[in-house]
Structure 1
Amino acid sequence: MSAAFTLAKPEHLDRLVALVGSFHAETGIEQTDDDRRNGLAPLLEGTPYGVAYLIGPARAPIGYIIITFGWSVEFGGLDAIIDEIYVRPGVRGRGIATEALLAVPNALAGGGLRAIHLEVERSNEIAQKLYHRAGFRPRENYMFMSRKF
């Protein structure tokens, strides 16, 4: 499978909000569309803190990947977190997510990206296999922790 990847722009906001809403419904994340818009709009307007890519044709995307940027002394500079990746259920199992997980970080490496991280539920073996195929490995003795404000 060879999917197109489009850097999401402000004109893609409605399509992206709908896709994110589908992902959130599937995973049990409770959030309003207004909150989704507020979280997505800066990414589409060019904030330096992250990017969103549409997967598939921009007019009718089949998924998305959102990457946020940070800095790591341990990894030697610019690093990123895959905040969300989603492919519509009807087209899953065709290698689209694997392609996104390989292509997008490789493209960003040209801009100095040194490492990319993601978070996965310990019980989600299907997602873990996907991430493993794309070269991600668990870091033994480390656990991703969060504090919400």
Structure 2
Amino acid sequence: MIRLAEKSDIDALLPLIEGYWRFEGFPNFEEARIRRNLDWLFRHRDAGEVHLALKRGQAIGYLLLVYNFSLEHAGLMADIDEFYIADAHRSKGTGAALLAAAEATARARGCRSLMLQVGQRNTRARAFYVKTGFHPRSGFELLEKEL
């Protein structure tokens, strides 16, 4: 089952988010900070939302979709900020179902495009994204600056 997460799902999301951060090698997972940020997101639905995958009532995956406006992309666009399925539930259609739900939500909101970042070494995820219609943006690379 796929549904939009609510504030009451934060405790179920935290272990999944920590699993994603571990998988990607992100440092400094701080539960209290993540909890505050999720609380903010659930109060500001115009900024984004979390799609939650459940199996027998247990959270097994999530997709964090965030929104922004772009002249270049002709209006509202969505970005998949985080996307994670617990190891035991991968390659069983959960990721495809989460992605389809997120795409439907983005379309319903009027989004013109959907973007994501994928680790250069994550060939399995890259193959999944290409299979579902994503493609590299020719001539561009991601740059980042902490503020």
TM-score above 0.5, yes or no: yes
Structure 1 residue ranges without an equivalent (≥5): none
Amino acid at match of 1:108: A
Q: Is the Cα contact below 8 Å between 1:13 and 1:40 reproduced in 2?
A: yes
SS in 1 for 2:137: coil
Offset at residue 90 of structure 1 (A):
0.3
Q: Tell me the C-alpha RMSD between the 2 structures.
A: 1.5
Select 1:128's aligned residue among 112, 126, 129: 126
2:8 matched residue in structure 1: 11
SS in 2 for 1:75: coil
Matches of 1:101 and 1:47, distance apart in 2: 18
Amino acid at match of 1:101: L
Amino acid at match of 2:68: G
1:144 matched residue in structure 2: 142
- How many residue pairs get aligned? The number is 146
Amino acid at match of 2:91: G
Note the alpha carbon deviations across 1:92-118, whole angstroms, 9 max, x for none.
011211222233212320220110100
Offset at residue 23 of structure 1 (A):
1.3
Matches of 1:39 and 1:29, distance apart in 2: 16
> Identity percentage over the alignment?
26
TM-score (norm 1): 0.90
Structure 2 residue ranges without an equivalent (≥5): none
Matches of 1:98 and 1:85, distance apart in 2: 11
Q: Is the Cα contact below 8 Å between 2:66 and 2:81 reproduced in 1?
A: yes
1:21 matched residue in structure 2: 18
Matches of 1:94 and 1:58, distance apart in 2: 15
TM-score (norm 2): 0.91
